[in-house]
Structure 1
Amino acid sequence: MNLQTLPGLFISHGSPMLALNPEQVGPALHRLSLNLPKPEAIIVMSAHWESHALEISTSVRAETWHDFRGFPAALYNIHYPAPGQPELAEKILHLLADAGLTAHANSTRPRDHGVWMPLLHMYPEADIPVIEISLPINMSAKDIFKIGQTLAILREQQILLIGSGSITHNLAELSWHGESQEVPVWASSFRNDVVSKLNHQDYEAILDWQNIPYVKRNHPTLEHFAPLFFAMGTGSRFNIVHSSFSMGSLGMDIYRFD
């Protein structure tokens, strides 16, 4: 089989409503999937699986988890029944162990919307094996980056690596009810600063995230920014696939790393 090297991706998955109202990012994800060779498998680090230790989903077929409340009933009827791949999960565990990163198997974890919502637009047939890896809350940015570096070799086996979060994510500041959609300066400045650093391959400055201007305003908690560290570890050539804002200050950028 002639396998092609796939990129690593950072995907801003936005509100759960993206599943019903794709806005600009849904079509962008669909176009991206058409421009890539079909993956043999997909590995996703999601902002919505925070853990104390690094964990890997080893489920044969993880349940679709609607890990949110207060949304339209139609959203809870969406399922993404992609299979797992326990053999690949075991390989991931071994790769991490060889790199000095302790990880644990988890066969019961359901698949959160940080995984299934973007994949719903990319691969709606749900016929590609998906493995979720957790976001360890006690790991440093450099450790999360190292996870991406460690798994980057899997790109050569036509495996797609994804960090799923949001380039900006302050839910308290969003325009939920259709009020002014103007992007505030603190959100656009942060996004532009991060992109400038990525364009200049200044990964160290992003891993030193505490010193990025407006970081706390855009990320009161870090879990939606941290999957970018993972994606950065998967490749050194950076490209913007898509850039937009939703609900005023919610950044919906998609980045590619080769």
Structure 2
Amino acid sequence: MTNTAFPALFISHGSPDTAIADTQAAAWLKQMAADLPRPRAIVVASAHFEVSGGVAVSADPHPETIHDFGGFAPELYAMQYPAPGAPDLARRIADDLQAAGFAARAIDKRGFDHGVWVPLKLAYPDAEIPVVSVSVDPNKGPDYHFRLGQALAGLGAEGVLVIGSGSFTHNLGEAFKRLRVGTRVADVPEWVESFTGWMNARLAANDVEALLDYRSEAPFAAKNHPTDEHLLPLYVAMGAAGEGGHAHLVHDSAEFGVLAMTMWQFDPAVVAQPAA
């Protein structure tokens, strides 16, 4: 007999209009839930929930839908994701993080930013599963967020799906240049291809040491991520799989040539149990 647990996922959530776009990434998100058991709750570390000096965990029982963007189609601003929160789970997560040495607290009145609700609206459109948001710290690096994920590693065995929601590459200046051309499908430049190839190879090899030092080791790291915050959720997902886990690529596409919509699944180690 084996002990099964939920994997952790890293999702590139892309532009807010991923919620209504006909893209490869949106199509993958729509079928994501079919490949997993139904979780009892979902915990999302979002690149758009930035808190410096500690970790905030959303404990609102009825989080609002935050439209934290501008210049998009009116229908996006009318969209709601009325999933319930999970205050008891949020407080327990905050306690666990404190025990692991983090300055963590459960907070009220924090809604779902688009890094949370856009992918979940596609993957779990019924909005019935409770959702808790966890912040990232833009002033802390990959190691901090990997350890944060490790502090969440027990959740998968309890039927909780942990998601890191960010972007595999996130140079918006380059993306806006291509957006003005008006096409979402474009050639991938060498500086993106080199970076994503390096990251994918290191993830497949479980080369944690190199990944934690990606800014020094990965080619074109600063050009693909002028700031860290959109890659930090990847490290939360990595850590949340626990010791002995393994990663596999579940989706790989690009938009505007420079926004890699890469998704990774981090499976926990399978632990053999004594026969009954």
* Structures share fold, TM-score greater than 0.5: yes
Q: 1:57-102: per-residue Cα shift (whole Å, max 9, x none)? A: 0100110000001111011011000000000011101111111112
Partners of 2:169 and 2:60 in 1: how far apart? Answer: 31
* 1:223 correspondence with 2:229: yes
* 1:67 correspondence with 2:68: yes
Partners of 2:29 and 2:250 in 1: how far apart? Answer: 9
Aligned partner of 1:185 among 190, 202, 219: 190
Task: Look up the equivalent residue of 2:20 and give its one-letter code.
Answer: L
Greater shift in the superposed pair: 154-163 or 25-34: 25-34
Partners of 2:22 and 2:33 in 1: how far apart? Answer: 15
Q: 1:198-223: per-residue Cα shift (whole Å, max 9, x none)? A: 11110111111221210111011111
Task: Look up the equivalent residue of 1:8 and give its one-letter code.
Answer: A
Task: Look up the equivalent residue of 1:60 and give its one-letter code.
Answer: P
Greater shift in the superposed pair: 171-180 or 115-124: 171-180
Q: What stretches of structure 2 of length at least 5 have no aligned partner?
A: 268-276
- Write out aligned runs for 1:72-91 (5 A): 72-91=73-92
Aligned partner of 1:253 among 262, 267, 272: 262
Q: 2:9–2:265: 8 Å Cα contact kept in structure 1?
A: yes
Task: Look up the equivalent residue of 2:231 and give its one-letter code.
Answer: F
Task: Look up the equivalent residue of 2:202 and give its one-letter code.
Answer: K
Q: 2:203–2:247: 8 Å Cα contact kept in structure 1?
A: yes
Q: 1:4–1:157: 8 Å Cα contact kept in structure 2?
A: no
CA distance 1:22–1:55, shift in 2 (3 Å): farther
Greater shift in the superposed pair: 97-106 or 241-250: 97-106
Greater shift in the superposed pair: 78-87 or 232-241: 232-241
SS state at 1:48 partner: strand
Task: Look up the equivalent residue of 2:207 and give its one-letter code.
Answer: D
Shift of 1:178: 2.7
Q: 1:114-149: per-residue Cα shift (whole Å, max 9, x none)? A: 000000111000000000000112323211101111
Q: What stretches of structure 1 of length at least 5 have no aligned partner?
A: none
Q: 1:4–1:37: 8 Å Cα contact kept in structure 2?
A: no
Shift of 1:4: 5.0
- Which residue of structure 1 aligns with residue 107 of structure 2? 106
Identity across matched positions, percent: 43
Partners of 2:100 and 2:22 in 1: how far apart? Answer: 38
Task: Look up the equivalent residue of 2:93 and give its one-letter code.
Answer: I
TM-score normalised by structure 1 residue count = 0.96
TM-score normalised by structure 2 residue count = 0.90
- Write out aligned runs for 1:132-147 (5 A): 132-147=133-148
CA RMSD of aligned residues (A): 1.3
Greater shift in the superposed pair: 248-257 or 20-29: 20-29
SS state at 2:42 partner: strand
- Which residue of structure 2 aligns with residue 50 of structure 1? 50
